[in-house]
Homo-oligomer: A and B are copies of this chain.
Amino acid sequence: MSLLVIGSIALDSVETPFGSNQDAVGGSAVFFSYAASLLHPVLAVGVVGNDYPEQELARLAKRGVDLKGVSRADGESFRWRGRYSYDLQNRDTLETRLGVFADFAPTIPEDFREANLIFLGNIDPELQLSVLDQVSKPEFVVCDTMNYWIESKRDALIELMKRIDVLMVNDAEARQLSGDWNIYRAARWILDNGPRLAIIKQGEYGAVLVEPDNRIFYLPAFPLEEIYDPTGAGDAFAGGFLGHLARSNDVSSANLRRAMVYGATMGSFAVERFSVDRFEEIGPAEVTARARAFRELVHFDIPHD
Residues on A facing B (Cβ under 8 Å): 86-87, 181-182, 184-185, 188, 202, 205-206, 208, 215-220, 223-227, 254, 257-258, 260-261, 284, 288, 291-292, 294-302, 305
Contacts and interface: CB of A to CB of B under 8 A. Distances in A.
Contact of A300 (B220, B257, B301): B257
19 contacts: A87-B181, A182-B225, A184-B224, A188-B225, A205-B205, A206-B220, A216-B223, A217-B300, A218-B223, A218-B298, A220-B220, A257-B299, A258-B301, A258-B302, A284-B305, A294-B300, A295-B302, A298-B299, A299-B299
Contacts of A227: 182
Contacts of A87: 181
Describe A's contact surface by its main secondary structure. mixed
A97 to B, nearest CB: 32
Contacts of A216: 223, 297
Nearest to A186: B225
Contact of A217 (B254, B297, B301): B297
Contact of A254 (B208, B218, B294, B301): B301
| Copies of this chain, tallied across the complex | 2
Contacts of A305: 284, 288
A223 B184 contact: yes
Residue from A182, A188, A292 having most chain B Cβ neighbours under 10 A:
A182
A151 to B, nearest CB: 20
A299 to B, nearest CB: 7
A16 to B, nearest CB: 13
A143 to B, nearest CB: 23
A243 to B, nearest CB: 12
A266 to B, nearest CB: 15
Contacts of A217: 297-298, 300
Contacts of A181: 86-87
Contacts of A205: 202, 205-206
B254 A300 contact: yes
Contacts of A223: 184, 208, 216, 218
B261 A302 contact: yes
Nearest to A227: B182
Given A288-B305, A305-B288, A184 B298 contact: no
- The 5 residue pairs across chains A and B that have the minimum distance between CB atoms: A257-B300, A218-B220, A205-B205, A298-B298, A184-B223
A210 to B, nearest CB: 9
